[in-house]
Amino acid sequence: MQILSLIYRLAVAFWVGGVAIFTFVLTPVIFKVNDRDTAGRIVGTLFPGYFRWGLACGAVALASLLILRGRNFVASIVILLVMLSITAFQAFFIEPRAVALKKEIPSFVTTPKEHPLRKEFSRLHGISAVCNLTVLAGGVALVILL
């Protein structure tokens, strides 16, 4: 059971750490050193792996927690399920729609912000950002519950 507890803790830590590094370090640096179109392509290339990472870490954490059933089990399982649901929503709904929209926008540098496709992309980006911060907050809560 000690190894399973370690696996659970590592899965949560890797997931939360990945979200934090991607959100607060990697993405801002990419957008700082590249023009918007290039940075968008780079980050867009990373997103599928980023979401798979979250889903994999979440699945490992969930499986471990279901076996462990330790203290704070109910709160932890609810938080994990919410985090997994949000990540799946981003991976299978938001991200594919954003990719499709980006294909229709010739350039984020030259296309005005008022353009309907840019507005829709911004809306999806906002939803994704809220989802991402919610997953991060849930992960922090799980670390506190450990």
- Please say whether the beta carbons of 19 and 132 come within 8 A: yes
Q: Return d(Cα 8, Cα 72) in angstroms, integer.
A: 13
- How does pLDDT run across 106-136, given as a tens digit for each residue? 999 999 999 999 999 999 999 999 999 999 9
Q: Return d(Cα 60, Cα 11) in angstroms, integer.
A: 6
- How does pLDDT run across 21-77, given as a tens digit for each residue? 999 999 999 999 999 999 999 999 999 999 999 999 999 999 999 999 988 999 999
Q: Return d(Cα 19, Cα 21) in angstroms, integer.
A: 6
Predicted local distance difference test score (pLDDT) of residue 144: 93
Q: Which residues contact 108 (CB under 8 A, 6 or more apart)?
A: 36, 37, 40, 118
Q: Return d(Cα 130, Cα 73) in angstroms, integer.
A: 26
Any idea what the Cα angle at residue 90 is, between residues 85 and 92, rounded to 5°? 90
Could you state, in order of their start, the residue ranges of all structural domains in the chain?
2-145
SS3 112: coil
pTM value > 0.95: no
Interhelix angle 73-89/116-145, rounded to 10 degrees, is 160
